Chain A
Amino acid sequence: MDKLTKEEVLHVAHLARIKVEDSEIEKYQIELKQLLDDVDQIKDIVVESQELLVTPVEHETILRNDSDTREVEFNMIKKNVPATNGNFVEVPVMVNE
C-alpha cells in the first residue's frame, strides 16, 4: 500500500506538536497518506474566480477597543490549571542554560 515515509510522519507530528509512539508510526504512514491523497484532489478542480471566501460573515466586523473588558480572579481559573505554585502557573523548564 502507498504510504508516507517514517520521516514524513515524524515531520507532520512535529508540526502538530504531537508525540507519535514508535508502535503508531506505521498506522499513521497509511492513514495520513489516505487523507493527503484525498485533499490532493483539490489540485484538479478548475475554478474561474480567484476570490477567496475565508468566512461566510457578510457584515463588517467592528474591532473593539484594545482595552480590558473584564477581569478574572486567578483563584477562579486556578482550579483548572494542571500545576500551580502560589499565584503562578507552573511549567517545566523553558530555557536551557
Chain B
Amino acid sequence: MNRYLDLSIPEIHELFVNHKITPVDLVEECYHRIEENSDLNCFITLNKSEALEYAKKLGEEKVEEDNLLWGIPIAIKDNISTKNIRTTCASRMLENYVPIYDATVVEKIKSKKMIIIGKTNMDEFAMGSTSRTSYFGAPKNPIDKTKITGGSSGGSAACIAGALTPLALGTDTGGSIRQPASYTGIVGMKPTYGRVSRYGLIAFASSLDQIGPMTRNVYENALLLNEIVGKDKKDLTSRECEREDFTRFIGKDIHGMKIAIPNYFVSNIVSNEIIQKLDHVVEILKSNGAEVDYIDMKYLDQAVTLYQIIAMGEASSNLARFDGVKFGYRSSQSDSIEEMYANTRCEGFGSEVKRRIMVGSYLLSGENAKIYYDKALAIRNAMKEEFDRVFQEYDFILGPTTTTVAYNLDESLDDPRKSFMDDVLVIPVNMAGLPGLNIPMGENDDHMPIGLHIIGNRLEEARMYQIASFLENKLK
C-alpha cells in the first residue's frame, strides 16, 4: 500500500497538481488504514462507497490549484449533522438517525472539495472526558492502546494520532478538542465563541459549544480553520469577522511577546513530569526574546463548579428534545405519552447523560435557578473580566492542557466527578468564549504525550498559530 497519507498537505497537493496521484488513491489508503486499525474504534459510521464515488468524480475534474484542501480526506465528529450520513452522538437515542441537512461547517467542507471519510466516535452527547461513555464502545489511544484517548472528541483525536486521516473536526464545550488532543499528541484548536457556526451541531451546552479543527501540525490546523469560519445567518451567535488567513504569521519569530502563566496552572494539581516540560517551554520562550511572568488569576479554581452548573443546566434544556416523538429512539413499553417520554429517555440515554440531565433539571427548577444558575453566571462574568484584565497586559496565557497524561482505559468510571476534573485546566476558556489551542510539548518516560495549552484573546487565533508554530519547530 502507498503511504501518501504520511505526506504534508502541500506535498499531497503538489502530487494532485502534477497528476501523480488522484483523490481515489488517498481515499483508498484511508480506508485501508482504518480497516487495519479497526481495534482503535475511531469511527461509528464509515462513508466508504459515497467517499470513493465522490473521489472518483473529483479525479475527473480539474485540480483547484489555489485550494490546498482539494481532495483531502476528513473525519467528522458524530455530533455534527451530515446529510444522508447517520449521525448518532454516540447514543442509542440517535442510533438510527439520518439527518436531512448538512451542518454549516459540513457545507463549507464540501464546498472546498474535501472528502468525508466517516463519523468519529465520542462520549455520548459529548458528555465525558474519556470517550468511554460512547454507546459504541470506547476508542483507544494509538500511542498506547491500553490508554484512554480523552474526550469527548476521542475518535477524532485517535484518528489523527493514528494517521488514519490528515484532518478531523471536533467540538469543545469544556475542553473536548484540546484535552484529547493533549492525550494523543496532536494539534487541536477551540476557536473564539462565534467564529464557527454551530448550525447543525447537535447542542450540548449552547453558550459553550464550539466546533474546531484537529490536525497533525499547526499549519494544517490553520488551513482547516480558514475554511470553516464565518458569520452564518442560521446561527445568530456566529459573529461577523473579516476574512483572514490564519497561516499568515506562521514562521515569524516571537520576540517581544508577553506571556502570562497563572500560578494555578502550575500548582500541585499538575503532575511533575508535565511541569518539567512546561519549564522547558518557558526557557525556549525566554531565550527567544519573549517575556514570561507567573501571575495570580482569580476564579480559575472555581471553573469546574461553574461548568457543572452551566453545562448541566443547558444540557438538561437542550436534551429535552429527545422525547421519542419526531425522531430518534422510542420505547415500545408505554401506554401514555408521559410514560413514553420517561421510558424513552430511560432506555435511550446512557448513565452519564441521565445523571447530568437530572442534576441540570434540578438546578434550573424553581428557586434553584437563582441560587445556582444566576450565581454561576455572575462568577462567569467575573472570570471573563479577569481574563480581559490579563489580556490588557499580555499577549497569551500559557499552561499545561491536562494535569496528567492519558490514563488506563480500565480505570473506574464510578466517580461522577472525575470526568469534570480531567478538564479543570481547559474549562475557563469556554466560560469566557476565548480561543484555546493544544500543541504537543513532549512526552513522559512511557512515551505518553504531554500537551501545552495556549490561550489567546478573542479573535487572536492567527497570533496563536504564530507562537504555536514557533514552539512546534523548537520542540522537534
Q: Which residues of A contact B (CB under 8 A)?
A: 12-13, 15-21, 28, 31-32, 34-36, 38-39, 41-43, 45, 47-59, 61-64, 72, 76-77, 79-83, 89, 91-94, 96
Contacts and interface: CB of A to CB of B under 8 A. Distances in A.
A32 B358 contact: yes
B269 interface: no
Contact of B382 (A16, A48, A55, A58): A48
Contact of A54 (B98, B346, B377, B458): B377
B374 interface: yes
B305 A41 contact: yes
B307 to A, nearest CB: 10
A30 to B, nearest CB: 9
B376 A42 contact: yes
B355 A58 contact: no
B382 A38 contact: no
Given A45-B302, A45-B375, A15 B433 contact: no
Contacts of B339: 19, 92
Q: Chain A binding site: helix, strand, loop or mixed by DSSP?
A: loop
B contacts with A: majority SS: helix
B358 A61 contact: no
A12 B382 contact: no
Contact of A35 (B239, B308, B326, B334): B308
A7 B351 CA distance: 19
A96 B357 CA distance: 28
A35 B207 contact: no
A80 B83 CA distance: 13
A42 B309 contact: yes
A92 B343 CA distance: 13
B83 to A, nearest CB: 10
Contacts of B432: 56
Given A19-B343, A92-B339, A39 B433 contact: no
A8 to B, nearest CB: 9
B335 A38 contact: no
B207 A55 contact: yes
Contact of A49 (B305, B335, B341, B382): B382
A79 B98 contact: yes
A45 B304 CA distance: 13
Contacts of A19: 339, 342-343, 345-346
Interface string B321-358: 00111111110001111111111011001000011011
A91 B337 contact: yes
A54 B379 contact: no
A55 B432 CA distance: 9
A12 B381 contact: no
A92 B345 contact: no
Interface string B126-160: 00000000000000000000000000000000000
B308 A16 contact: no
13 contacts: A15-B358, A16-B360, A21-B346, A34-B416, A42-B305, A45-B305, A49-B385, A50-B378, A55-B237, A80-B96, A81-B327, A82-B325, A92-B335
A77 B337 contact: no
Nearest to A34: B416
Given A21-B346, A52-B381, A56-B433, A15 B361 contact: yes
A91 B240 CA distance: 42
B233 interface: yes
Contact of A53 (B341, B358, B377): B377
Interface in B298-326: 299, 302, 304-306, 308-309, 312, 316, 320, 323-326
B216 to A, nearest CB: 29
